[in-house]
Structure 1
Amino acid sequence: HLVAAAAKYLAETRNFAGTVAVIFQPAEEGGGGGNEMVKDGMMERFDIEKVFGMHNMPGLPVGQFAIKPGPIMAATAEFTITVKGRGGHAAMPHGTIDPIVIASQLVGALQTIASRSTDPVEAVVVSVTKFHAGDAYNVIPESAEIAGTVRTLKKEVAKKSEERMRAICAGIATAFGATIEVDYDANYPVTFNHAQETVFASDVAADVAGDAHVHRTIQPVMGGEDFSYMLEARPGAFIFIGNGDSAGLHHPAYDFNDEVIPHGMSYWVKLAETALAA
């Protein structure tokens, strides 16, 4: 682990004046571990003044870094929509209120949140990632459920996206005579890099990799990251490190590239020794 390697080196060499807190964050994927650590008083307990994070990036060559000031990763929300209709025989659909047809309408209609309800220069991604309904070939079920995520970079866009989702569901429910329930959970906030700390992190990466290998103005990534809670609590910056030509994140073929470790370790050591120069 590159952070553990950096911590071991720093502990052995002590070429810095001050204290380095090494954070091993649990439950990043949906568990909100970063938020729990902040709420537990980690920043105060260890007198943390600034905080820096890192994530690997498939597609970015090994030995390169990518960063930007301001929003670098999106705020996320999860939704579950339950359509309740009236089931019946597949041969007699006129006697039913078909929740599968209604939910299918919703899948398409929800895409208008981005394409027709949001300023084209703003960022919003609505993804339906689950669709569950029915158990038999010849039965129209009583209900259907779809679920997914909404990702945004601004609070006002996030607010409007939820409002539009609820309005779309209400309108389609009325049109088809169904009942539609929306469970909407806004969770991770935007991962927001502070300006001064972003310049500092970029310069450290340039010292390690060379300025030509540091991309300082990348486009925001619409994935979510609960390091965002730490950046709300303290100034800091989040940087990407190249994983090379690998499968994408969350792909079943993804594999962390061990060749990244010395580059990441060097970054962390240089960052600590520069920020706390002896």
Structure 2
Amino acid sequence: MPVLNRIAAYAEEMTGWRRHLHQHPELKFDCHQTAAFIVERLREFGVDEVHQGIATSGVVAIINGQGPGDTIGLRADMDALPMDEITGADYASTVAGKMHACGHDGHVTMLLGAAKYLCETRRFTGRVALLFQPAEEDGGGGEVMVQEGVMDRFGISQVYGIHNAPNVPFGKFVTTPGPLMAAVDTATVWVTGKGGHGATPHETVDPVVAITGMVGALQTIISRNLYALDELVLSVTQIHVGSASNIIAEEGWFCATIRTFTPEVRALVEQRFRSIVEGHAAAYGCTVRIDYELGYPPTVNHPAETDFAADVAREVSGEDGIDARANREMGSEDFAYMLEARPGAYLFLGTGPGAGLHHPAFDFNDEAAPVGASFFARLVERAQPLA
């Protein structure tokens, strides 16, 4: 695999960076220690500008090339997940209830490796903007960075990102033009009836019956309201009601995650969700309150930039090392906001066999970091080449 020789020489150092980050996970926007570690490395490399405190703890660093030109943005997310680690690694998380179970420590390491190489070589024109973003998992840090003006402030003309992909062949890139990942919305429904004794249900208004009716009927949105070739996932993931076998509860609640790709389907699902829930509540004599929260939009790759990124991936991983017309998937990603603001592309990088993302046994494959760093570096050199 043609990893850039200079970056290959960083492999041991990059492993050290990644494992340090893995031991010290931080959540949401509170990534201050992570940002401090990143800034220390960037100053060692000799970046030209460092801007801190963006989206609370985000960092933007600028590397100047040789001569005038555009600014290309490269993004890595920094935050971890609120869960306990079970890997048993000697570099496992030292913070109870927090771990890098999605590989963001690896994403930061890949971008740091590219930054070191680009600072040393500067074989490009224009500038590179390194975007280290907090709160991808929860909070929408990508949206906040865009709202705080990073695209205009730093003159970014196009933007790219990578996510590791366990159980995809090592070193293989996966992407597609157009929608790559879904929009994610969350609905929480509170149902109130009239509680009482389980032996006298006729004297109550049972929220359990109403909730079970709602949960079953909501699946008819997929089977009876949606065109068969459109894509939708509607999963009820929690139901909370009742406290004992002989008590009919006064109230209960449930929540669902909804994944869509188009504004039309997204709007249809919300409208039908509300109608079904409200109709069942009326039929069962309950009252209902719905909190329908619109989350991250779909992650939509720009076709020309996706084809360009795929060509760079072929250079790094070989002709068979890229699936450039992959199936889209129902996960979500707040890099979507950056792709709404600027043209660009998002890719997955296979890291080989291992526990899946968000699993307590997950661990990023350190051998993949030089591959991702080489991709970022060649992306810059080919997008903004020297004469």
Decide which moves more: 136-145 or 204-213.
Answer: 136-145
**CA–CA separation in structure 1 for the residues paired with 2:351 and 2:274:** 39
Residue 128 of structure 1: how far off its partner (Å): 1.1
CA distance in 2, matches of 1:143, 1:89: 14
- Give every structure 1 segment of 4 or more consecutive aligned residues whose post-TM-superposition deviation is greater than 6 Å: none
Question: How many pairs align?
Answer: 278
Question: In structure 2, what is the Cα distance between the partners aligned to 1:136 and 1:257?
Answer: 47
**What's 1:143 paired with?**
251
Residue 192 of structure 2 is matched in structure 1 by 84
CA–CA distance in structure 2, aligned partners of residues 253 and 183 of structure 1 = 33
Offset at 1:174? 1.6
Match of 2:367 in 1: 259
Gaps of 5+ in 2: 1-108
Matched, 1:55 2:160: no
Task: Give the equivalent residue in structure 1 for 2:264.
Answer: 156
Q: Offset of 1:245 from its aligned partner?
A: 1.8
Alignment match, 1:14: 122
Residue aligned with 1:255, SS: coil
State the distance in 2 between where 1:113 and 1:265 align. 43
Separation in 2 of the partners of 1:248 and 1:277?
37
Task: Indicate yes or no: 2:223 matched with 1:115.
Answer: yes
Determine the structure 2 residue equivalent to 1:175.
283
- TM-score, L = length of structure 2: 0.70
1:4-35, Cα deviation, whole Å (9 max, x unpaired): 11111111221211111111111001311000
Give the Å deviation of 1:133: 1.5
Q: Deviations over 1:64-91 (max 9, x none)?
A: 0001000001111111011111111122
User: For 1:59, what is the secondary structure of its paired residue?
Assistant: coil
After superposition, the Cα gap between the structure-2 partners of 1:59 and 1:8, relative to the gap in structure 1 and judged at 3 Å, is: same
Query: Can you give the 5+ residue segments of structure 1 that lack an aligned partner in the other structure?
Result: none
Aligned residue type for 2:110 = L
CA distance in 2, matches of 1:247, 1:18: 40
SS in 2 for 1:212: coil
Correspondent of 1:73 among 163, 177, 181? 181
Offset of residue 58 of structure 1 = 2.1
Deviation at 1:43? 0.5
Deviation at 1:93, TM superposition (A): 1.7
The residue number in structure 2 matching 1:274 is 382
Name the % identity. 50
One-letter identity of the residue aligned with 1:77: D
- The residue that corresponds to 1:225 in the other structure is 333
Residue 111 of structure 1, CA deviation = 1.3
Query: Residue type matched to 1:169 in 2?
Result: V
What is the deviation of 1:114? 1.2
State the SS of the aligned residue for 1:120: coil
Scaled by the length of structure 1, the TM-score of the pair is 0.97
Root-mean-square deviation (Å): 1.1
| Greater displacement, 182-191 / 158-167 | 182-191
User: 1:62 aligns to what SS in structure 2?
Assistant: coil
Distance 2:257 2:139 in 1: 15
Instruction: Choose the corresponding residue for 2:308, options 184, 194, 200.
Output: 200
* Structure of higher RCO (CA pairs closer than 8 Å, 6+ residues apart): 1
Alpha-carbon deviation of 1:248?
Answer: 2.1
For 1:136, what is the secondary structure of its paired residue?
coil
Give distance in 2, aligned partners of 1:113 and 1:197: 35
